[in-house]
Amino acid sequence: MKKIWFFLCISCFYSVFQINAQTINQKFKIGNLTFVLSSDAQKNIQNRVNLLKEDKKKYDAQLQQATLYMPLLAEVFEQNQLPDDFKFLALLGNQNTYNLSFWHNLDDKAKNLGLKINSGIDERENPVAFARVVAKHLKEQGATNKNWFVPLVHLISPDLGRNWLNSTGLLGLASNLEIALPNVAPTEFWQFLAYKEAFDADLDKFDGELALIIEKNRNTSLSKIAKNDGIPIQKLKQYNTWIKDEIIPNDKDYDVILPVYAKSVRDENDLFGMENDNRAYKASLDDNNLHEVKPQENFTSIARKYNISVDNLLKINELNLKSNITPGQELVIPTKNIPTKSIRNTKNARTKTKKSNFHTVAKGESFFAIARKYKISVTEIKQWNNLNNNNLSIGQELKVSDESGNNETATNETKTKDVYITPAQASQTLVITRNTPIVVINNRRVMIKQVPFSMNLLGIKVTLSSQLRKNIEKDVEILMRNPTAFLNKVRRVDLYINLIDQQLKESGLPYDFRYLPIQESTLIGDAVSKSNAVGYWQFKEPAAKEMGLVINNNIDERMHILTSTDAAGKYLKRHQNYFQNWVYTLLSYNMGFGGGRRYVANLNGSYKNQTTMNLDENIHWYIRKFIAHKIVFENELNAETPVRFLKPYLSQKKNIAEVAKETGTRASEFPQYNLWLRRGTIPNDKSYSVIVPYKK
C-alpha cells in the first residue's frame, strides 16, 4: 500500500510539473524571420525560462512591471517598422533583481546613441526614450521588419556578435525567411529569446488596474502636468525619475510617462441608463404596435397572443369576422386604453408615408426633373434605388426618400396634425413610434427624431451606413417612445446641463460629451448600477478614487455634479493622449483603457487624428447608443426655462441650514441637488462647491 501511495504522489507531482512547465517550440517567429531550434538550443532557452520563473514572487513582480511598460516599448518599435518583440531587449540584465532595470545592458552606449545625461535629466532612466534611440540606431544600421537579425546581434553583443555571425555563416543568411539557429550563440541573444518566451505568454494574463501612456512635453514642469491631468505629483515622479529637478527642458519634445486607470470606470455591460430606459418602456407590445400576419394565423390566435378581445382587434382595424387576412398583412394591435382615433392616425400615417416615399416615372421625365420635384439630388435617387446608369422606364417606381423618412420634402408630405393630449393620457395610454403623429403635451411637441446619413460626432465628421442607421433608429425609438417619461428626463437634464457644459469647456473636451452622463445615469445623482457604479458618471469606487474623488462616511463625490464631471474629463483627456481619436476615447470610458487599446489594435487601418470616419453596423454598441442619445437630446435641451437653475457656491464646515441662509434659499431644496453630502454638513478639509438652487 505504501508503494502505491508513493507511486501516486510521484505521478501527481510529475503531472503538476508537466502542466506548469513551459514548452519551447522548435520554431518561433520574430518579424519576418522564423528561427528553427535544435534540441540543444531548445534546452538552452528552456533552462533560462525556468530560471526566470523559479522564484514566483520575483517573477510576478517583474511581470507586473513588464505589463505596464511593454505596450509603450512595443509601440515605439512598431512606429519604426521594426518587430514589436524588440521590447524584450529592454529586460536584459534583470535576472537577479525584483525590480526591472530597463536597458541595463546598453547603459554604456547611452550617450553615443543620443540620450541626454546632465544634472537636470538622465534619459537612461526613461525606457521609452531609450527605446526610441535603439530603434533609430537599428534603422541606421539597415534593420527592417524583414531583416533585423544582423544589426540586432551587433548592438547587443558587439564583441562576440560579428565573429559569431561570420563563423556560423549567418551573416549572409540573415534575410532568409527561416534560420537554423546553432547551439552556440552570444549569451545576450539567448537571454533575449528567453525573456520573449517567458513574458510573451503571460503579459496578457496580468490584469492590473494601471497602465502607462506617453505624453510629449517641453518647457513645463511635472507639477503643472500633474495639475492639468489630475495625477498626484508623487505618482508622476515615480514613473519619471529621469527628470531630476521637475523641470522639462525646452530643447525638444520629451516623452513623459503618465499613469492611467486601465480598467473600466464600471462594468462594461452594466449600463444604468440603458437599464432604466428598458424598465420604463417594458409596457410596449413591440416596436410599432403592429403585427405582421403569419401563415395559418387568424383573428382568434392573434387576439389571444396579445391578450386582447377579438372585438377590439376588429374594431381598431375596421374589419369584421368575414374579412380575409393574408400573410404579410399588418394589423394594428391596441395597447390597453389607447384611444382608437390615435391608433388610426398611426396606421394612416404609416400608409401615407409608404406612398409618399415613391414616385412613378411618367413619360418624358428624367432623373434631373424628378430630383428637382422632390428637392433631392440625382445621386440620392440612384443610391436609394441601387441604380448605376441613367436609364428610366415609364411606370418605374423610384424611392424618393430614405427608408426612415429622412428627406425633408417627403416628411413634410406625410405630416399630420399635431395631437394634443394631457400628461395623464400620455403616461397611461400612448406609446410613441416612428409613425405616430406629433404629440403635444403642455405645449411641448414630441416626435421621434430622424437619423441622418452623416453628422458631426465629437469633432469628427462620421458617415453612417444604412444598417447602422436602422439600428440607431431603434435606439432612438426606445429612448422616446414614452413621451411623459422622456419629457421628465429632458427637464431633469435641463437642470444640470449648463453646469456640465461649463465644466467640459474648462476641461477642453468636445461639446458632445455632455450626452455621456445622460447615457450613463440619465442624470440621476444617486443612480447605482448592478455592479455598484454610482452617480452621474457611474464611477466604481476604485476608479473614482484613482481620479481623485473623495469617498468616505461624510461625502461621496461621485454624486457631485461638478467634481464627478471634472474627474470624467480628466479620465477622458488622459486616454485621448493615447487614442488621438475622441470616438475611441469615448469607447474607452466603457471598456477601460486596456479594453479600448485591445479594441483599436484589431482595427484595420489608421484611426489616430482622423477628421472623417465611416461607421457601420459593426461599431461597438456603446458608440451606437451614444449617437442615439446625441440625436435625441441635441435639439431638446434648453428648449424651455427650468423652474429652477443651479449654480455652485464655495463653502466649508457649514451645514445646509447655514448655507441656505447665506444664499437666501430654502434648506429643504438642498438635499436633492447635493446628494454627495451624506451627513448634511460640509467638511472642513477644503472649500467645496455646494450646488445651490435658485428660482427663476
Q: Picking from 227-231, 385-389, 392-396, 685-689, which range would have the lowest pLDDT averaged per residue?
A: 385-389
210-261: CATH class = alpha beta
Q: How far apart are CA 35 and CA 382, in angstroms?
A: 55
Model confidence at 645, pLDDT cuts 50, 70, 90, reads low
pLDDT for the residue 200:
85
For 535-574, write each residue's pLDDT tens digit: 999 999 999 998 889 999 889 999 999 999 999 999 999 8
3 state DSSP class of 538: coil
pLDDT classification of 87: cutoffs 50, 70, 90: very high
Specify the higher pLDDT residue, 281 or 123.
123
Distances (CA, A) of 134 to 152, 255, 314, 594: 10, 15, 80, 26
pLDDT score recorded for residue 100:
82
Question: End-to-end distance of the chain based on CA atoms, in angstroms?
Answer: 90
Give me the residue label for grid cell 520575483.
58
H/E run at residue 280: helix 272-280
Q: What SS3 class is residue 405?
A: coil
What is d(CA 409, CA 227) in angstroms, rounded to the nearest whole number? Answer: 52
Model confidence at 346: pLDDT above 60: no
For residue 2, pLDDT beyond 70: no
Which pLDDT belongs to residue 641?
61
- Its CATH class, for the domain covering 290-334, is alpha beta
Give the per-residue pLDDT at 631: 96
pLDDT for res 344: 46
Q: Residues of the chain with pLDDT > 70: what percent? A: 82
- Residue 341 has a pLDDT of 45
Contact between residue 553 and residue 678 where contact means Cβ atoms under 8 Å apart = yes
* One-letter-per-residue 3-state SS of 505-527: HHHCCCHHHHHHHHHHHCCCCCC
If one compares 472 and 418, the residue with the highest pLDDT of the two is 472
Residue 432: pLDDT band (50, 70, 90) is: confident
Q: Could you tell me what percentage of the chain is helix, strand and coil, using 3-state DSSP and rounding each to the nearest 5?
A: 50, 15, 40
The average pLDDT across 454-469 equals: 94
Which range has highest mean pLDDT (301-310, 588-597, 633-642)? Answer: 588-597
- Round the CA-based radius of gyration of the chain to a whole number and report it: 33
- Supply the pLDDT for residue 353: 45
Q: Cα–Cα–Cα angle for 125, 192, 85, nearest 5°?
A: 80
H or E element that contains 220: strand 220-221
Q: Which of 402, 382, 400 is nearest to 392 (CA)?
A: 382
Q: Does 308 score more than 90 pLDDT? A: no
Query: For position 337, what pLDDT does the model report?
Result: 39
Residue 74 banded pLDDT, cuts 50, 70, 90: very high
| Residue 505: φ, ψ to 5° | -65, -45
HSE of 352, CA atoms in CB hemisphere, 13 A:
17
pLDDT at residue 643 in the model: 57
Give the 3-state secondary structure of residue 298: coil
Dist. CA 692–CA 132, nearest whole Å: 52
Q: Is the pLDDT of residue 427 over 70?
A: no
Model confidence band, residue 379 (pLDDT cutoffs 50, 70, 90)? confident
Residue 25 in 3-state DSSP? coil
Stretch among 29-43, 49-63, 309-323, 485-499 having the lowest mean pLDDT: 309-323
How far is 253 from 250, CA to CA, in rounded Å?
A: 8
- Higher per-residue confidence, 275 vs 581: 581
644 pLDDT tier (thresholds 50, 70, 90): low
Q: What is the pLDDT of residue 453?
A: 93
Residue 554 or residue 406, greater confidence? 554
Could you tell me whether strands 612-615 and 460-464 are parallel, antiparallel, or unpaired per DSSP bridges?
parallel
**Long-range contacts of residues 232-241, Cβ cutoff 8 Å, at least 24 apart:** 232/548, 235/259, 239/212, 240/126, 241/125
Mean pLDDT on 600-617: 88
Would you say residue 404 has pLDDT above 50?
no
pLDDT bracket for residue 589 (50, 70, 90): very high
502-538: per-residue pLDDT in tens? 999 988 999 999 999 999 999 999 998 888 899 999 9
What integer best gives the mean pLDDT of the chain? Answer: 80
Tell me the pLDDT band of 121, cut-offs 50, 70 and 90: very high
184 or 576, greater pLDDT: 576
Q: 644-695: what fold?
A: Membrane-bound Lytic Murein Transglycosylase D; Chain A (3.10.350)
Where on the phi/psi map is residue 219: left (φ > 0), alpha (ψ -120 to 50), or beta? Answer: left
Is 90 exceeded by the pLDDT of residue 288?
A: no
Does 415 score more than 70 pLDDT?
no
Confidence band for 271, pLDDT divided at 50, 70 and 90: low
Model confidence band, residue 177 (pLDDT cutoffs 50, 70, 90): confident
Q: How confident is the model at residue 437 (pLDDT cuts 50, 70, 90)?
A: confident
Distance CA 325, CA 301 (A): 12
Position 122 scores a pLDDT of 92
347: left (phi over 0), alpha (psi -120 to 50) or beta: alpha
Q: Kindly tell me if the per-residue pLDDT of 232 is higher than 90.
A: no
CB 139 within 8 A of CB 106: no
Residue 682: pLDDT band by 50, 70, 90 thresholds?
Answer: confident
- Report the CATH number of the 454-633 domain: 1.10.530.50
* Sign of the CA dihedral running 668, 659, 506, 686: negative
Looking at 242-251, 399-408, 430-439, which range is the least confident one?
Answer: 399-408
Residue 21's pLDDT band (cuts 50, 70, 90) = low
pLDDT at 489 over 80: yes
- More confident position, 336 or 167: 167
| Beta pairing partners, 419 | 439
